[in-house]
């Protein structure tokens, strides 16, 4: 009996020793991260920054090491004993990069930080604590924002976006001017984390120009390049042509129209680009010109071309917006048999016509009086061959004509019809 008790006691002692060993091993990677007592035996160790070192306003990276093998569930960052954020492992399970931002209001203050490692097996461990880190000023001004881009939602609303590689920006300023001869004013102030903003309630008859700069306590960045709602390029020394439009006219002819905004140009150059993306000059035109017909020289049916117009002064040049158009085969057949009747009791003129071209998407109805030139009265869908003109006056004479449109080209005009409201 005594031998059995002795044997039992020895077995119990061995189990206790094993449990102590296991317990000591788990203390290095414990479910309680604060049990770390031996800094030389840490699972996770902060390498940089080091105690009594410095941090700068803006982005800071924590360089650390984790002893192999490891299976990261996540890491936690604590600054001045306060939880800052949770950092998951990379998608392949490797240790992630840890960055954190310091606002310029912290300059001159000291702080400490540490990490906590959580393993997928449910254990965790706290890193060494880095103490007395002084936050210093980054005296460099921000870099110039780049890749300024404009996205048009509709005629009255756009989005302006940009990129920036600055280490830290406190805020961004969006400056705007209206039309070529306008003056830039501060339009919006945005946080330093911003990379885009909307501008709404725009007047569709204006051209809006935008530029962006960054700011921090050390100063302003340079302004970004300009961008505008018309897609034009202006140096300010000569105003670029605007409202450039292109339409197919007849067989493989492209008719260009634009607005001349400058009074100091020497000439205009018309440039054309195909699929290769390079613009080549196809015409040089005298000053004050506002139209040009590309009469098919080098144009291929079925191909798409881009056009732009450049104004040249003695010292500079400025580029219009770019328009794109596809050269379609054949021509649109014009509407025929246009007729008009007047109903004096309700004072309305009824127009009727025929159309045999299924490629026409819209009809443009134009009207004139004896004392005026033709103006566009209404554009209607091509599914209708009838139009009622209620906007007429008694004791007058009206003349009408109609043409088809497919978003790329116009047909020839129909016959003209004249009717009296006497």
- 311-354 pLDDT tens trace: 999 989 999 999 998 887 667 788 999 999 999 888 999 999 99
Residue 365 forms part of a structural domain: yes
Query: Could you tell me if 86 and 177 lie in one domain?
Result: no
CATH of the domain at 131: 2.60.40.10
Query: Could you tell me if 39 and 118 lie in one domain?
Result: yes
**Which pLDDT score, from 0 to 100, does residue 33 have?**
60
pLDDT (average), residues 271-293: 90
Q: How far is residue 171's CA from residue 216's CA, in Å, rounded to a whole number? A: 7
Query: Could you tell me if 57 and 131 lie in one domain?
Result: yes
Q: Is the pLDDT of residue 286 over 90?
A: yes
Query: Could you tell me if 310 and 252 lie in one domain?
Result: yes
Query: Could you tell me if 166 and 257 lie in one domain?
Result: no
Residue 6 forms part of a structural domain: no
When divided into structural domains, the chain yields a total of 4
Residue 44 forms part of a structural domain: yes
Question: What is the signed CA dihedral for 409, 412, 415, 419, rounded to 10 degrees?
Answer: 40
Q: Point out the domain boundary residue: 228, 255, 284.
A: 228
Query: Could you tell me if 261 and 171 lie in one domain?
Result: no
Residue 131 forms part of a structural domain: yes
Range of the domain at 398: 336-420
Query: Could you tell me if 94 and 117 lie in one domain?
Result: yes
pLDDT tens by residue, 98-110: 998 888 888 899 9
Query: Could you tell me if 77 and 114 lie in one domain?
Result: yes
Residue 57 forms part of a structural domain: yes
* DSSP single-letter state for residue 333: P
Query: Could you tell me if 207 and 131 lie in one domain?
Result: no
Q: Is the pLDDT of residue 189 over 70?
A: yes
pLDDT tens by residue, 355-383: 988 888 999 999 999 888 899 999 999 98
Q: How far is residue 318's CA from residue 312's CA, in Å, rounded to a whole number? A: 7
Residue 345 forms part of a structural domain: yes
Residue 211 forms part of a structural domain: yes
**Which pLDDT score, from 0 to 100, does residue 371 have?**
83
Q: How far is residue 57's CA from residue 218's CA, in Å, rounded to a whole number? A: 11
Query: Could you tell me if 370 and 313 lie in one domain?
Result: no
Residue 17 forms part of a structural domain: no
Q: Point out the domain boundary residue: 75, 108, 136.
A: 136
Angle at 21 between CA 15 and CA 22, to 5 degrees: 90
Q: Which long-range contacts (CB under 8 A, 24 or more apart) does 353-356 make?
A: 353/385, 353/402, 353/414, 354/385, 355/382, 355/385, 355/404
pTM: 0.55
Query: Could you tell me if 198 and 264 lie in one domain?
Result: no
Q: Point out the domain boundary residue: 326, 347, 371.
A: 326
Confidence of residue 35 (pLDDT cuts 50, 70, 90): low
């Amino acid at each position: 009996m005594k031998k059995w008790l002795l044997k039992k006691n020895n077995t119990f002692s061995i189990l206790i020793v094993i449990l102590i060993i296991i317990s000591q091993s788990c203390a290095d990677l414990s479910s309680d991260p604060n049990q770390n007592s031996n800094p030389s035996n840490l699972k996770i160790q902060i390498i940089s920054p080091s105690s009594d070192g410095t941090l700068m306003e803006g982005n800071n990276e924590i360089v650390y090491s984790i002893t192999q093998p490891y299976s990261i569930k996540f890491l936690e960052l604590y600054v001045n004993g306060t939880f800052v954020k949770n950092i998951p492992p990379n998608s392949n399970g490797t240790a992630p990069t840890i960055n954190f931002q310091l606002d310029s209001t912290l300059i001159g203050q000291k702080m400490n930080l540490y990490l906590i490692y959580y393993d997928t097996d449910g254990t965790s461990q706290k890193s060494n604590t880095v103490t007395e880190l002084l936050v210093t000023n980054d005296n460099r001004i921000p870099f110039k924002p780049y890749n300024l881009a404009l996205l048009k939602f509709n005629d009255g609303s756009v989005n302006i976006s940009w990129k920036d590689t600055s280490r830290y920006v406190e805020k961004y300023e969006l400056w705007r001017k209206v039309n070529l001869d306008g003056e830039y004013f501060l339009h919006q102030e945005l946080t330093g984390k911003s990379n885009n903003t909307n501008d709404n309630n725009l007047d569709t008859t204006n051209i809006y120009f935008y530029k962006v700069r960054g700011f921090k306590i050390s100063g302003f960045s340079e302004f970004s390049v300009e961008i505008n709602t018309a897609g034009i390029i202006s140096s300010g020394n000569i105003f670029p042509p605007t409202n450039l439009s292109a339409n197919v006219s007849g067989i493989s002819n492209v008719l260009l129209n634009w607005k001349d905004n400058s009074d100091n140009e020497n000439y205009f150059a018309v440039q054309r680009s195909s699929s290769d993306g390079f613009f080549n000059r196809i015409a040089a035109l005298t000053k004050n010109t506002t139209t040009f017909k590309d009469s098919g020289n080098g144009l291929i049916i079925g191909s798409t071309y881009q056009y732009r117009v450049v104004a040249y002064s003695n010292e500079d040049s400025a580029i219009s917006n770019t328009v794109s158009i596809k050269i379609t085969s054949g021509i649109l057949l014009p509407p025929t048999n246009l007729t008009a009747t007047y109903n004096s009791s309700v004072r309305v003129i009824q127009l009727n016509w025929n159309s045999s071209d299924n490629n026409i998407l819209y009809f443009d109805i134009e009207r004139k009086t004896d004392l005026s030139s033709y103006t566009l009265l209404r554009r209607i869908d091509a599914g209708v061959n009838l139009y009622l003109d209620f906007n007429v006056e008694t004791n007058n004479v009206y003349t009408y004509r109609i043409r088809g449109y497919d978003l790329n080209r116009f047909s020839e005009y129909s016959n003209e019809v004249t009717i009296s409201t006497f």
